[in-house]
Chains A and B, each alone.
Chain A
Amino acid sequence: MLYRETGQFRTSYKADMAVFPIRQDRIGLAIILLLAFVATPLFGGGFLLSAVMIPLLVFALAALGLNLLTGYTGQLSLGTAGFMGVGAYACYKLTTFFPEVNLIVWILASGFFSAAVGVLFGLPSLRIKGFYLAVATLAAQFFLQWCFIRIPWLYNNNVSGAIEAPVRTLFGMPITGPHATPELRYLVVLSIVALLTWIASNLVHGRVGRSWMAVRDMDIAAELMGIRLLPTKLLAFAVSSFYCGVAGALMVFLWYGSAEPEVFSISQSFLILFMVIIGGLGSLIGSFFGAALIYGLPIVLKSLFPMLGLSVGAATIEHITFMVVGAMIIGFLIVEPHGLASIWRTIKQKLRVWPFPY
């Protein structure tokens, strides 16, 4: 039907290697971007923007960061929340030291601090692999969270022990603090996430991404082909931590408004790892799917029962959510271990040849 590439000829090598070689994909992407940038802020309303879309984008960015490391380079990491925390605390320190600099500059800059910490904890990755590396990154998680609790300098000696996002403006309008409108906060988050996704897409389709995937698929073979393992792995750690750090800064400044160290706990790391696994390892769009499913499903379930006219206790819904999410994780692992992204690919493939099944 609509999704057919008949008549679209790729006459150059460049066109053949494009990220979106099919015209319909490009149109689809444009529509999605239009919906996200124009329609959602116009018609979304406060709840959808603040409680659904912003969290979803923040988690998607964090999942994307982890996916670059775990999905593309094959290095399992359990320190995601810790790296997010580094970004958040770095951004807090930077913006309280230099309040006159635009917050968005600091949000992006805080990613570099996170990247540096990520490289540090990525050093053992040359020697250890798999579960052992997971344990090493687990140490990063615990050590970083310990720092957030124990180093008062990081939270400016606040009595509450938490960091609070001070009011910052963009073009004269507040983007943090209580007066910031959900629309503006959403647009800022969306712009940053869209920009970083675009960069990630270029990374994974280029030389860097290829060397990451080579390392993932077989590191000895990659080494024999001339890929230097340590720089490649460290670069993956740096880029991944950069993304997580930016996600953490966005989380505290444009979503929560303030955060206790508890926010960056191990359970957060696992949550993001589940998003990556369910969404699809080694897929950018999978990160978005995973975040949408894991974060969005409880919200949908919460509104589902009242919509059906059933009066179910708030706690019961929570229990049902646990069961459904648990069942889905197991279900996915059995039916589709490559996650939602793989289902998406299958759908696309079927649509291309529709109505003839191959």
Chain B
Amino acid sequence: MGYMSKVLLSAASGAAMLLGGQLAPVQAQDGKDANFVPLFTYRTGPFSGSGIPIANGMRDYLEMLNQRDGGIGGAKIVIEECETGYDTKKGLECYEAVKGRNPVMVNPWSTGITLPLIPRAAVDKIPVLSMAYGLSASADGQTFPWIFNPPNTYWDGLSVIIKHIADELGGLDKLKGKKIGYIYLDAGFGKEPIPMFEQFAKDLGFELKLYPVAATDMQNQSSQWLGVRRDKPDYMVMYGWGALNPTAIKEAARINYPMNRFISIWWPSEDDARSAGPGAKGFRELNWHGVGTDFPVLKDIQKHVVDKGLSKVAKGKEGEVLYNRGVYNSMLIAEGIRNAQKLTGKKAVTGEDVRRGLEAINLTPERLKELGMEGFTDPLKLSCADHNGHGAAFVQEWDGQKYVKVGGPIKPMEDKVGPVAAAAAKDYVEKNAGWPKRTEACDSK
């Protein structure tokens, strides 16, 4: 026991010293201009299946800019990953660790981590980019000047799915008398679209069946699918995450549910569909960017990063849905920094500059071509009022090997989504008494 206690004592004193040492801000650069982009990633834990491709995509795009162009506008990008494990407390620890080191923005990649950061962003002057997740109401730039969630919200996604179903049936009025099932993660994310779904059901005259899946039961959905079998909905809509997605696809295949009537929001990956075997063929989901590597930007990543052995991505996994989503996310980061540099004339920018830069994002077709993303995604324009863009999404179908696009881009139903989003933003402000009015000046017209 004497030895044990000695070891412990020395470990404790070592720990105390280390904690003291960690507080000094790390300056990774050799005096040159640089922009610090922390990436909150999760390569471990129950959600790592989704987290790893996203992390790889985000990192590889930024690394490609460093390798090909020497960074952005002559300033290197200092990339640093912080492992959150999709756990709020670790995410907050990551945030505390980076916030003193002038990060240009944070990408929490978890709604649970995004929510506590929303009030802090304005105070710490660090913009939050929660790409198509987080608080949907934060699309309102007048209320949330520091939060960005392009290119669509979950409400936009729902309206696109409804439109897609209507298109297949031959018009919105054809939805009357139909039955639509909704299987979702029983948490904030899955419950958010329900009021709007119910409104749609009332307006369009279809019947809505709810199949909630508790987070603890993601891998056991037999009772929900028993319900589906009994109710026989004409269409199934899914808002899932993590293990919920592959399990649902498997269960749907098992009960022979017609897969091309099973439509998910944009999170299922190739692996989720693949694991269900050939029965998953025809499974549909929304997306807003290309899959595969047939884009100049992906070729550049392969050439400058993957082939040089600088990436962690497994061979052949680049170009998958979630990898490309990471690439898209990093493209927004890079555009934000680039715009900030243009607006301020500085090379090394701050969070405040990048907030302005993100509001100035204007991905015209020409700009997308310059970025090597022609045909990869649709144009997107953000403004001071609109931090989302409410861009179009398209439907893609699993053909057994890969996702293929079916049909063209579908715009969200602005008239239905707009009021809901505005009401939610208002509700947030009311419940958080003393929420600051926007004082940040507006650059773009």
Contact A167 B4 (CB under 8 A): no
Task: Tell me whether A161 and B188 are in contact in the complex, defined as CB-CB below 8 angstroms, given that A166-B432, A303-B18 are known contacts.
Answer: yes
Is B201 part of the contact surface with A, judged by Cβ < 8 Å? no
**Contact size range, B:** 35 or more
Residues from 318 to 355 in A contacting B, C-beta threshold 8 Å:
318-319, 322, 335-336, 340, 343, 346-347, 350
Residues from 76 to 135 in B contacting A, C-beta threshold 8 Å:
81-83, 85, 88-89, 92-93, 96-97, 99-100, 111-112, 115-116, 118-120, 122-124, 135
Is B26 part of the contact surface with A, judged by Cβ < 8 Å? yes
In the docked arrangement, what's the CA distance between A143 and B18, Å? 41
Residues from 276 to 335 in B contacting A, C-beta threshold 8 Å:
312
Task: Chain B residues near A110: list those with CB within 8 A.
Answer: none
B15 touches which of A255, A296, A322 (Cβ 8 Å):
A296
CB distance from A172 to the nearest CB of B (A): 14
Task: Tell me whether A335 and B96 are in contact in the complex, defined as CB-CB below 8 angstroms, given that A52-B19, A159-B424, A161-B192 are known contacts.
Answer: no
Task: Tell me whether A160 and B124 are in contact in the complex, defined as CB-CB below 8 angstroms, given that A99-B433, A262-B215 are known contacts.
Answer: no
Task: Chain B residues near A347: list those with CB within 8 A.
Answer: 5, 9
In the docked arrangement, what's the CA distance between A178 and B121, Å? 8
B96 touches which of A47, A142, A340, A346 (Cβ 8 Å):
A47
Is B22 part of the contact surface with A, judged by Cβ < 8 Å? yes
B89 touches which of A142, A149, A256 (Cβ 8 Å):
A256
Q: Which of A192-200, A227-235, A309-317 contacts B (4 or more CB under 8 A)?
A: A309-317
Is B441 part of the contact surface with A, judged by Cβ < 8 Å? no
Is A177 part of the contact surface with B, judged by Cβ < 8 Å? yes
Contact B433 A315 (CB under 8 A): no
B23 touches which of A48, A177, A256, A304 (Cβ 8 Å):
A48
Contact A257 B83 (CB under 8 A): no
Task: Chain B residues near A299: list those with CB within 8 A.
Answer: 19, 93
CB distance from B311 to the nearest CB of A (A): 12
A160 touches which of B81, B115, B120, B123 (Cβ 8 Å):
B115
Task: Tell me whether A159 and B192 are in contact in the complex, defined as CB-CB below 8 angstroms, given that A167-B434, A262-B112 are known contacts.
Answer: yes
Residue of B nearest to A331 (CB): B4
Task: Chain B residues near A45: list those with CB within 8 A.
Answer: 23
CB distance from B424 to the nearest CB of A (A): 5
Contact A160 B188 (CB under 8 A): yes
In the docked arrangement, what's the CA distance between A307 and B123, Å? 30
Is A55 part of the contact surface with B, judged by Cβ < 8 Å? yes
Task: Chain B residues near A318: list those with CB within 8 A.
Answer: 43-44, 83, 85
Task: Chain B residues near A307: list those with CB within 8 A.
Answer: 18, 21-22
A260 touches which of B19, B44, B112, B124 (Cβ 8 Å):
B112
Residue of A nearest to B95 (CB): A51
Task: Chain A residues near B99: list those with CB within 8 A.
Answer: 46
Contact A159 B137 (CB under 8 A): yes
B82 touches which of A52, A314, A346 (Cβ 8 Å):
A314
Is B136 part of the contact surface with A, judged by Cβ < 8 Å? yes
Residues from 150 to 173 in A contacting B, C-beta threshold 8 Å:
150, 156, 158-162, 164, 166-167
Is B440 part of the contact surface with A, judged by Cβ < 8 Å? no
Is A263 part of the contact surface with B, judged by Cβ < 8 Å? yes
**Contact size range, A:** 35 or more
Is B41 part of the contact surface with A, judged by Cβ < 8 Å? yes
Residue of B nearest to A55 (CB): B89
Contact B21 A303 (CB under 8 A): yes
Residue of A nearest to B121 (CB): A178
Residue of A nearest to B115 (CB): A258
CB distance from B95 to the nearest CB of A (A): 8
Is B223 part of the contact surface with A, judged by Cβ < 8 Å? no
Residue of B nearest to A177 (CB): B119
CB distance from A237 to the nearest CB of B (A): 24
Is B186 part of the contact surface with A, judged by Cβ < 8 Å? yes
Which applies to chain B's interface (DSSP): helix, strand, loop or mixed? helix
Contact B43 A314 (CB under 8 A): yes
Contact A256 B92 (CB under 8 A): yes
Contact B187 A149 (CB under 8 A): yes
Contact A261 B187 (CB under 8 A): yes
Is A259 part of the contact surface with B, judged by Cβ < 8 Å? yes
Is A14 part of the contact surface with B, judged by Cβ < 8 Å? no
Task: Chain A residues near B216: list those with CB within 8 A.
Answer: 142, 145, 265-266
Contact A257 B433 (CB under 8 A): no
Is A28 part of the contact surface with B, judged by Cβ < 8 Å? no
Contact A256 B116 (CB under 8 A): yes
CB distance from A184 to the nearest CB of B (A): 14
In the docked arrangement, what's the CA distance between A179 and B119, Å? 9
Task: Chain B residues near A98: list those with CB within 8 A.
Answer: none
In the docked arrangement, what's the CA distance between A306 and B18, Å? 10
Contact A158 B43 (CB under 8 A): no
Task: Chain B residues near A31: list those with CB within 8 A.
Answer: none
Task: Tell me whether A178 and B124 are in contact in the complex, defined as CB-CB below 8 angstroms, given that A296-B15, A314-B41, A336-B1 are known contacts.
Answer: yes
Is A146 part of the contact surface with B, judged by Cβ < 8 Å? yes
Contact B44 A48 (CB under 8 A): no
CB distance from B401 to the nearest CB of A (A): 28
CB distance from A257 to the nearest CB of B (A): 4
Is A300 part of the contact surface with B, judged by Cβ < 8 Å? yes
Task: Chain B residues near A313: list those with CB within 8 A.
Answer: 43, 81, 312
Residues from 157 to 203 in B contacting A, C-beta threshold 8 Å:
186-188, 191-192
CB distance from A68 to the nearest CB of B (A): 24
Residue of A nearest to B190 (CB): A161
In the docked arrangement, what's the CA distance between A81 and B83, Å? 23
Contact B18 A300 (CB under 8 A): yes
Task: Chain A residues near B26: list those with CB within 8 A.
Answer: 306
Is B442 part of the contact surface with A, judged by Cβ < 8 Å? no
Contact B120 A260 (CB under 8 A): no
Is A50 part of the contact surface with B, judged by Cβ < 8 Å? yes
Contact B427 A178 (CB under 8 A): no
Contact B96 A50 (CB under 8 A): yes
Task: Chain A residues near B434: list those with CB within 8 A.
Answer: 166-167, 177
Residues from 130 to 154 in A contacting B, C-beta threshold 8 Å:
142, 145-146, 149-150
A178 touches which of B43, B100, B119 (Cβ 8 Å):
B119
A149 touches which of B88, B115, B214 (Cβ 8 Å):
B214
Task: Tell me whether A350 and B18 are in contact in the complex, defined as CB-CB below 8 angstroms, given that A55-B89, A260-B188, A299-B93 are known contacts.
Answer: no
A156 touches which of B4, B192, B431 (Cβ 8 Å):
B431
CB distance from A216 to the nearest CB of B (A): 25
In the docked arrangement, what's the CA distance between A303 and B424, Å? 40
Q: Contact flags (1/0) for B132-155 with A, using CB distance below 8 Å?
A: 000111000000000000000000
Residues of A within 8 A of B (CB): 45-48, 50-52, 55, 96, 99, 142, 145-146, 149-150, 156, 158-162, 164, 166-167, 177-179, 255-263, 265-266, 296, 299-300, 303-304, 306-307, 313-315, 317-319, 322, 335-336, 340, 343, 346-347, 350
**Interface CB pairs A-B, < 8 A, 27:** A47-B97, A48-B19, A52-B19, A99-B433, A146-B214, A156-B431, A159-B427, A159-B428, A160-B115, A161-B191, A167-B432, A177-B434, A179-B123, A255-B92, A256-B92, A256-B116, A258-B116, A260-B188, A296-B15, A313-B43, A314-B82, A315-B43, A315-B81, A317-B83, A336-B1, A336-B4, A347-B5
The 9 closest A-B pairs by CB, nearest first: A161-B188, A315-B43, A51-B96, A178-B123, A314-B83, A257-B116, A303-B22, A314-B81, A178-B119
